[in-house]
Amino acid sequence: PFPGLSVDRHLHESDRAVTLARDVLAGLTASPRELPPKWFYDTTGGMLFDKITRLAEYYPTRRERAILVSYADEIAAACPADTLVELGSGTSDKTRLLLDALRAAGNLRRFIPFDVDEAALVRAGRGILTTYPGLSVAAVVGDFERHLHQLPRGGHRLLAFLGGTVGNLRPAQRQNLLRTLREQAESSDALLLGTDLVKDVDRLVAAYDDGAGVTAAFNRNVLTVINRELGGDFDIRGFAHVAVWNAENSWIEMRLRSVREQRVSIATLAVTVDFQPGEEILTEISAKFTLDGIASELALAGWAVARQWTDPDGDFAVTLATP
């Protein structure tokens, strides 16, 4: 669609509809009810998340950015990659910090953004190309739980999975993802993993329950997506946003709590779901880590930690690991 930009599709619009239908049917008929967080991110959800990253309470994006501002050069020195692969891309601001450092180190040739959202990939790809002429951008449209083995090989790749998104997966799913990446990594590849760290519970909860109600709108947006794409009749005001710290599992849970007894129909799925007052849907887990915990999860998946960086307050970590 643009010189220097190629798009490799492993996920199509029709897959999206089928996968959403499957996830919603399974999740809303399960006990406890659950919806996967990936369905937050339609155009509105993407904009709301963007707004979240600028909230006073939501520190992770700023902290990770500060780490990259301070240490991108060290990262590039420790891993002089010619290819940056960005998993769950879209956020080109932090990408550019890495691209700049890799370019300054002298080897950068290729950028491979990987995301479910084709439009966002093309937009980001074009933006990157205008600032990095000569770079080859090979976008991959895929789901990081299904299409990681389709990533282009070759060269010296830095596989970046930033933002703390790995925390949306449960431990077993995290192991799967880390092992899938490890299986395809060549000895000259490296992994760069961004993770939020355990801290004061009040700060953690505030980050997921901001005063302006942006996170509440983001959480409820999944119901709007279901209404639009599956013919649902969720009354958005009938569900309250809840953020709680699950100490046993070391993760934040976002839930939607039915404020009254209500029946919801989802036409495309031909199902109705009854909610009791106070009944909840788990919509997201966001795991918080310790530096040692990250290292042992990586080790279990066959990765060796080369370096770990945190921001001065120790809020967030970026870990560089090698096969």
Contacts with ligand AVJ by CB under 6 A lie at 52, 60, 163-165, 167-168, 208, 215, 218, 284, 286
Residue identified by tokens 């739980």 is 145
Asked if 320 contacts 307 with a C-beta cutoff of 8 angstroms, the reply is yes
In the complex, least distance from residue 116 CB atom to ligand AVJ, rounded to whole angstroms: 13
Q: What is the closest distance, in whole angstroms, from the C-beta atom of residue 109 to ligand AVJ in the complex?
A: 28
Residue with tokens 């919801």: 264
Q: Which of residues 5 and 288 has its CB atom nearest to ligand AVJ in the complex?
A: 288
- Whichever of 194 and 232 has its CB closer to ligand AVJ, that residue is 194
Q: How far does Cα 74 stand from its chain's mean position?
A: 24
Non-local (6+) Cβ contacts of 174 within 8 A are: 166, 287, 297
Q: Which is nearer to ligand AVJ, 247 or 270 (CB)?
A: 247
Cα–Cα distance measured from residue 150 to residue 152, given in angstroms and rounded to the nearest whole number: 6
**Residue closest to ligand AVJ when measured from CB atoms:** 286
Of residues 71 and 161, the one with the C-beta less far from ligand AVJ: 161
Minimum Å gap between C-beta 249 and ligand AVJ is: 14
The helix (H) or strand (E) run that includes residue 2 is none
Q: Distance (Å, rounded) from C-alpha 217 to C-alpha 144?
A: 25
What's the min distance (Å) between Cβ of 317 and ligand AVJ?
Answer: 13
Single out the residue of 238, 272, 234 nearest to residue 39, CA to CA. Answer: 234
Is residue 250 a contact partner of residue 289, using CB atoms and an 8 Å limit? Answer: yes
- Residue 76 or 252: the one with the smaller Cβ distance to ligand AVJ is 252
Please tell me what DSSP assigns to residue 19: H
Cβ 166 to ligand AVJ shortest distance, Å: 9
Smallest separation (angstroms) from ligand AVJ to the CB of 177: 14
Residue 205 beta carbon to ligand AVJ: minimum distance, rounded to whole angstroms: 12
Quick check: helix, strand or coil at residue 46? helix
Q: Residue 70 contacts by C-beta under 8 Å, 6 or more apart in sequence?
A: 309
CA-CA distance, 162 to 142, in Å (whole number)?
A: 17
Q: Which is nearer to ligand AVJ, 83 or 165 (CB)?
A: 165
Nearer to ligand AVJ, 90 or 142 (CB): 90
